[in-house]
Amino acid sequence: MVCAVRAKPLVPEIPMSRRLAVPSIIVLTIGLLFTALPTQAGAFRDGLRAYRAGDFATARQLWRPLAIEGDSRAQTNLGVIWAHGRGVTADPARAVNLYRRAAESGYAKAQYNLATMYRRGRGVKQDLERAAMWFGRAAAGGNLKAQYSLARAYAKGRGVAVDTTQAARWYRSAAEKGHARSQLSLGLMLARGRGLARDPVQAAGWYRKAALQGLAPAQHNLALSYRRGRGVARDAGLAQRWFARAAAQGYVRSQYALARQLIEHDRITAYAWLLRAGQAKNVGTAGKLGQRIENLRQRLAANLTTSELRTAEQQASNPEKAKDS
C-alpha cells in the first residue's frame, strides 16, 4: 500500500516542471517493483517446465539470474542440476555452495539437501554433526524428509547422541503428515518399545498406513503382524495377501515368507517365488537369508517333476503370471 504524504510547512516550493516530473518517477518506480516479481515468477516456472521436459540447459539459463539475485528456489534447483549432472558434468562442490546459500536464507529444501551432502561426504568433507544440524533446521521448517533423517540420526547416534525419545518424536511428526517411511519406523519403535511404551496395536496401525502407500517393508511387517497375531487378530489369509504385495515389488523377505506359506498347497508357485528371491541382487548365497532360500529351494525341487519345475521357471520369469495362492 502506498501512503500519501501531506506537504509540511517551511518546505521550499518545488517548481511546477519538477512537480510534474516527480509523480512520473514514482509511478515508474512502483510499476517496476510490481512487474519484477511476476517476471521472476514466470522465469522460475518456465525453468521448471524446461527442467521437467529434460531441457536442462534452458532451465539453467533461466534460473541462474534468479539465483544470483538470491532466489532460494532457483539456487536449490541449480544445486540439484550440478549435484546430479543434469545437462552438465556433475560438480558436487558447486552444488554444495548453491545449497548453502539457499539454506542460510532459511529454505528448508536446501537445508535438507545440504545436510544430505554432509552426511554422504559429497562435494564437502563428510561431517555427521553438521548433517544433523542442517537436518534439524530443515525439520524445524517442516521438511518431512528432514524429520525422518533427523529421527534416524537420533536413533542411530549419527552426529548426535543416541536419543530414542527424540527419534520417536520426529518419526511421529513426519508420520502424522503421511511420510510412509516414518510411519513404518514409528511402528517398529512401538512394536519394540523403543523411545515410547510398547504398543503392538498402534504399531500394526502405522504399518497399515505405510503399507497402503505401497511401502514394501511396511507391507511385510503388516503381514508378519497378521501371521503372528500381534496387534491384530491372527489371519493367515491377510498375511498371505500382504506378503504377496511386498513380494511383487521384489521385497525378498516377503518372497521367501510367501513361498513358505504357499508350500503346502501350491508348490509350483512357492518354487517360483524362491527362484525370484534367489535371483535378487541384494541377496547373496553367503548371507543367512540367501542360504535359507537356497536350502528350501533345493528341498522343494527334489519333490517336483520336470514339468512342474519348468512351469515354476516360467512363472518366475513372467512375474505377472505368478499367483499368490
Residue-wise pLDDT tens digits, 94-133: 999 999 999 999 999 999 999 999 999 999 999 999 999 9
Measured distance CA(64)–CA(84) in Å, rounded: 17
Q: How far is CA 141 from CA 35, 53, 111, 112, 132, in A?
A: 30, 30, 9, 10, 14
Measured distance CA(191)–CA(187) in Å, rounded: 6
Mean pLDDT for 183-210 is 98
Mean pLDDT for 42-46 is 94
* Residue 202: count of CB within 10 angstroms of its CB: 17
In the predicted structure, residue 18 carries a pLDDT above the cut 60: no
In the predicted structure, residue 302 carries a pLDDT above the cut 80: yes
Domain boundaries, the chain: 251-325
What pLDDT does residue 71 have? Answer: 97
Helices (H), 53-105: 56-68, 72-84, 92-104
In the predicted structure, residue 183 carries a pLDDT above the cut 90: yes
Read off the pTM: 0.84
Q: Which three cell numbers stand for residue 63?
A: 534460473
User: What is the 3-state composition of the chain as percent helix, strand, coil, each rounded to the nearest 5?
Assistant: 70, 0, 30
Q: Which three cell numbers stand for residue 267?
A: 508348490
Measured distance CA(169)–CA(323) in Å, rounded: 40
Measured distance CA(231)–CA(204) in Å, rounded: 6
Confidence at 300, pLDDT banded by 50, 70, 90: very high
Measured distance CA(135)–CA(201) in Å, rounded: 30
CB 203 within 8 A of CB 190: yes
Q: What is the residue-wise DSSP string for 87-101?
A: SS---HHHHHHHHHH
Q: Is 26 exposed, middle or buried, given 0-12, 13-18 or 19+ CB atoms closer than 10 A?
A: exposed
Measured distance CA(237)–CA(243) in Å, rounded: 10
Mean pLDDT for 160-181 is 99
* Residue 200: count of CB within 10 angstroms of its CB: 18
CB 88 within 8 A of CB 119: no
